[in-house]
Structure 1
Amino acid sequence: MENELERWIIEADIASMQQAMNTGRVTSEQLVHVYLTRIEKYDSILNTILEINPDAIDIAKALDEERKVKGSRGFLHGIPILLKDNIDTHDRMHTSAGSIALAESFAAADSFVADQLRAAGAVLLGKTNMTEWAGYMSGDIWAGYSSRGGLTLNPYGPGELFVGGSSSGSAAATAANLAAAAIGTETSGSIISPASQNSLVGIKPTIGLVSRTGIIPIAHSQDTAGPMARTVSDAAILLGALTNMDERDVETLASKRRSFQDYTPFLDANYLQKARIGIPRFYYHELDKARLDIVEAAIAVLKQKGATIVDPVVLPCEQTPWDGNVMRYEFKKDLNDYLSKLSGKIPVHSLEDVIAYNEAHANQALKYGQGTLIWSEETSGTLTEQAYLDSKKRDKEMSCEQGIDHALKEHQLDALLFLGAEGGTDLAARAGYPSITVPGGYAATGIIAPGGYTTKGPQGITFVGTAFSEPTLIKIAYGFEQATKHRIQPELATAAKIEVE
């Protein structure tokens, strides 16, 4: 029965799992067991999981009993979900952002995201590896590497293909069918990039749609959690579970009457017939032929399905030389706020402490250095510097009025189209606007090991819109997904672990 269940669960979507539980074909406990079996079998190759929730089976049993007595809570009742290791969970799992400095840190309370998932009936299966401090540690750090967890590998080509960062473990685990879906976080590209590189659907929501309470931060102007799944429908289900207003995160107050607890009504493939999509050619100029061919094929499909394509679209901000001041200044302030509230025998309570701890444990902690941490520590941590204030104002003006909003209004567009995380994700991140990536095909690019282009890596097609345009982006992404069905499962059985130095 277990082998049969494992074969069934590969690429199964949340709706199928829910239907199977509602009809008594399977239980949540069985789903948890089969995912744990797959983790034991394959994660020695991929290194995606930092720790398993020791209470996952008991939680699943309780939810199975609740289903019998009270019925289902909804889409996520009994569904095993993984969380990135910077998302607080008040249980027997740690929250460390991949850092050995926080390896023994237990959260005093659930993050808003974890609380929402529990309320929806999800089983929090475990914590996923990630690029340490969400990549904001060093300019040299490998995507997917953390001192606590080592290096996460891409299931489509372990040791060969770029895994994407910083929600690397959430992406690779979901792609490898080690959970139904996962939650990642993004400041700039950290959901869209790994989702694209692992043939997943990833949604980076509008800032304020999902609360940041209880998430180890980089920069409050850009940080958000979001879903990573194998289908648009699964991502839409997860997004609906995450959205709600949170008085502890004032940005979420802007989502009133602009958010939904159920995004599945927007799974409308026919919307493409009236969609208007812009092609920002400037952001394609560094694409090689293989990846450009994927973009052109996507445009052709959209046209075939009735979408109006405006090509090219010019953004006034295209030549803007961006700086990193917003993240640099906000990181120190936001991280200090988070660390200062930690209790117990935690050795760090400020960014200064983290840097000192890493220096004292350099053999374990500083494989790739900590230049970015030091760069941020040099700021005052007050967010009063003129350089910060100027950059924040300029980022918003150029990415919105002279960027995304300008293009959408000028041509009456629903969305702009980008390849994966190429150009569009940083633009959307600075604006605080949403983006969604969908499997777009496979190209022989992104190889990081010697030996040539031996594996074709996944590439995502990304749609970017204005604030709170998630319903429209989901419609477009769903239509594209249903027209193409590009996702294929990785062939893990033939993969061998490759050490990457």
Structure 2
Amino acid sequence: MKLKLILALSCAFAQPAVASVAMPPSTVQAQVNLAKAGSIENLDLAQLADGINDGAFNSEAITAAYLARIAAIDDSGPMLNAVIATFPDALDQARAMDAELRAGTYRGPMHGIPILVKDNVEVAGPLPTTAGSLALAGNITNRDAPLIARLRAAGAVILGKTNLSEWANIRSDNSTSGWSAVGGLTKNPHALDRNSCGSSSGSGAAMAAALAAGTIGTETDGSIACPAGVNGVVGFKPTVGLVSRRFVVPISHSQDTAGPMTRSVRDAAIMLTFMAGSDPQDTATADADRWRGNYATDLSVNGLKAMRIGVIRAPDADATLFDAAIAKFKDGGAEVILLDTSKIDQQKIGQGEFKVLLTELKADLASYLQGLPDGLVPHKTLADIIAFNNANADRELQYFGQDIFETADKEKGLDDPAYLEALATSRGLATEALNHMFASNKVDVIIAQTNGAAWVSNLGKGDAFSGPSASQLPAVAGFPHLTVPMGLSGGLPIGLSFIGPKWHDHDVLKAGFAYAQLSKARVAPIFPAMIARK
């Protein structure tokens, strides 16, 4: 039966060619077919999309399988605490997508695909958007953030909300990543005593545990890269401005962005294709329509041929894994160039960035709170949130305080000369450093180790980060940053970062895809209670 392909986005780039799609099977038959394919945890987003396309699977069976897995692994068993709640209409959404297929309508590769969304992104329905804070427990806006509206238009099933480091890890210097007053502590599926990093901890852990076909994270600096790296999944922070940030609880309009977290690079490319686009009410996205495209095209195992790859080798990188990764690039036909980062003033960039985040947090959060529908949340400023936390200290402040909030509340505003100088300095230095490395070395993509191994979670004791971090330069400059599993160190995942010039998101994805195909370094978790400490 010929089916009509609905273009989920009004855009100029080519959509996946679909000549015909088979009728969806009954849910019972789809469940049998899923079992024959190796069960839901062994199938990635692209494979599920292919199964829907060729009539082997249907959305109802896929969605039911993920709901059952969430109940078995997140709510009981290992009890990951990665998912705060699921939408009560998830199966109804899936059945509606199946009904469209039976009626002759197919929306593309996201049709009927269930995803989980970080709980600082608004999704229409009965679940609040809390950013992990009890202060936003009533924040049921019944609005879809534009990035969610785009995914819905593409046919995605919005399965539920994931836990996060409360307020996206900007409340205290002594926070424990992955903890929120709403969701508790998210555990790392590779070792349940280890941290899942933040702030997109729930999205990273849920993806590693195969609780959805894809997840949405957000990043200001490292909040997609680190949880993707320590949980052993793919995470992509797009160029800032490629994806709308409207109706996302903010930290910084200079650095915030949402991005996909997935099992494979192809899956991330599929999701990004439908997330990206200009939003008239988010001025940072003014050029997005000019740059976006079908990011799932031209992904090839041969994608490294003739590429020049710049290498940042951190002194505390895992030499065994990193050397093996470099060998894969050479095997793939890339030319590898070691980069000199000794003249980059990371301390000055970091000092400026912190001033920017403090100032923008105070201003942007107030703007978000004051833009909420009337009657949902009484708090209108950062000072109101601080007061709420003090009044509810037994639930909000039992493990760590709100020193960063208190510091940010003393900032003078977006017209403060000290803020403007910090913004110009930090962004200028980070952008100059990256652009210089790209231009002077004529490299297409820069690679670096994403993260150190996950540390033991210890509520009340803060985080024990170790090893390198590749997030700061692309975060401050707003450049695209992809992390792909590089292997295990002491039984724990380590990621490999791919950084590209601004708007070169597709090139980054192509390099990451080729490396992932050559390395096949991803390892599925087995949920041990703990792992031997190094």
Among 101, 110, 115, which residue is 1:67 paired with?
101
- State the alpha-carbon separation in 2 of the partners of residues 275 and 121 from structure 1: 35
> 1:486 and 2:521 equivalent?
yes
- State the alpha-carbon separation in 1 of the partners of residues 289 and 56 from structure 2: 39
| TM-align CA RMSD | 1.6
Structure with the higher helix share, 1 or 2 = 1
**Per-residue deviation, 1:146:** 0.3
Secondary structure of 1:10's counterpart equals helix
Among 366, 369, 374, which residue is 1:339 paired with?
369
Describe how 1:51-450 pairs up with structure 2 within 5 A: 51-159=85-193, 161-260=194-293, 262-281=294-313, 284-287=314-317, 291-314=318-341, 316-321=343-348, 322-323=350-351, 324-342=354-372, 343-366=374-397, 367-380=399-412, 382-401=413-432, 403-421=433-451, 422-444=468-490
Contact kept? 1:278, 1:313, Cα under 8 Å: no
- State the alpha-carbon separation in 2 of the partners of residues 470 and 310 from structure 1: 21
Contact kept? 1:315, 1:404, Cα under 8 Å: no
Contact kept? 2:208, 2:233, Cα under 8 Å: yes
The TM-score with structure 2 as length reference comes to: 0.87
Secondary structure of 1:417's counterpart equals strand
Q: Which moved more, 1:43-52 or 1:309-318?
A: 309-318
Deviations 1:302-357 (A, max 9, x none): 11211111114336324543211110100000000001122224232211111000
Deviations 1:409-442 (A, max 9, x none): 0010111111114342111000010110101010
Identity %: 39
- State the alpha-carbon separation in 2 of the partners of residues 107 and 488 from structure 1: 38
Secondary structure of 2:496's counterpart equals strand
Q: Which moved more, 1:420-429 or 1:145-154?
A: 420-429
Alignment partner, residue 462 of structure 2: none
Paired residue type of 2:242: L
Contact kept? 1:280, 1:315, Cα under 8 Å: no
- State the alpha-carbon separation in 2 of the partners of residues 388 and 11 from structure 1: 48
**Per-residue deviation, 1:4:** 7.1
The number of residues matched between the two structures is 476
Secondary structure of 1:31's counterpart equals helix
- State the alpha-carbon separation in 2 of the partners of residues 251 and 468 from structure 1: 13
**Per-residue deviation, 1:108:** 4.2
- State the alpha-carbon separation in 2 of the partners of residues 34 and 423 from structure 1: 35
- State the alpha-carbon separation in 2 of the partners of residues 487 and 53 from structure 1: 30
Q: Which runs of 5+ in 2 are unaligned?
A: 1-27, 452-467
Paired residue type of 2:165: T
Secondary structure of 2:111's counterpart equals coil
- State the alpha-carbon separation in 2 of the partners of residues 34 and 84 from structure 1: 20
Alignment partner, residue 25 of structure 1: 56
Contact kept? 2:249, 2:365, Cα under 8 Å: yes
Among 491, 495, 503, which residue is 1:468 paired with?
503
- State the alpha-carbon separation in 1 of the partners of residues 345 and 32 from structure 2: 52
- State the alpha-carbon separation in 2 of the partners of residues 314 and 240 from structure 1: 33
Paired residue type of 1:340: Q
Residues 1:315 and 1:225: Cα distance change in structure 2 (over 3 Å): farther
- State the alpha-carbon separation in 2 of the partners of residues 315 and 497 from structure 1: 38
**Per-residue deviation, 1:254:** 2.0
Paired residue type of 1:491: I
- State the alpha-carbon separation in 2 of the partners of residues 240 and 153 from structure 1: 30
Contact kept? 1:135, 1:141, Cα under 8 Å: yes
**Per-residue deviation, 1:32:** 0.9
Residues 1:207 and 1:141: Cα distance change in structure 2 (over 3 Å): same
- State the alpha-carbon separation in 2 of the partners of residues 272 and 32 from structure 1: 36
Paired residue type of 1:170: S
Secondary structure of 2:363's counterpart equals helix
- State the alpha-carbon separation in 1 of the partners of residues 316 and 523 from structure 2: 27
Contact kept? 1:11, 1:230, Cα under 8 Å: no
The TM-score with structure 1 as length reference comes to: 0.92
- State the alpha-carbon separation in 2 of the partners of residues 22 and 255 from structure 1: 29
Contact kept? 1:266, 1:472, Cα under 8 Å: no
- State the alpha-carbon separation in 2 of the partners of residues 235 and 54 from structure 1: 26
Paired residue type of 1:39: I
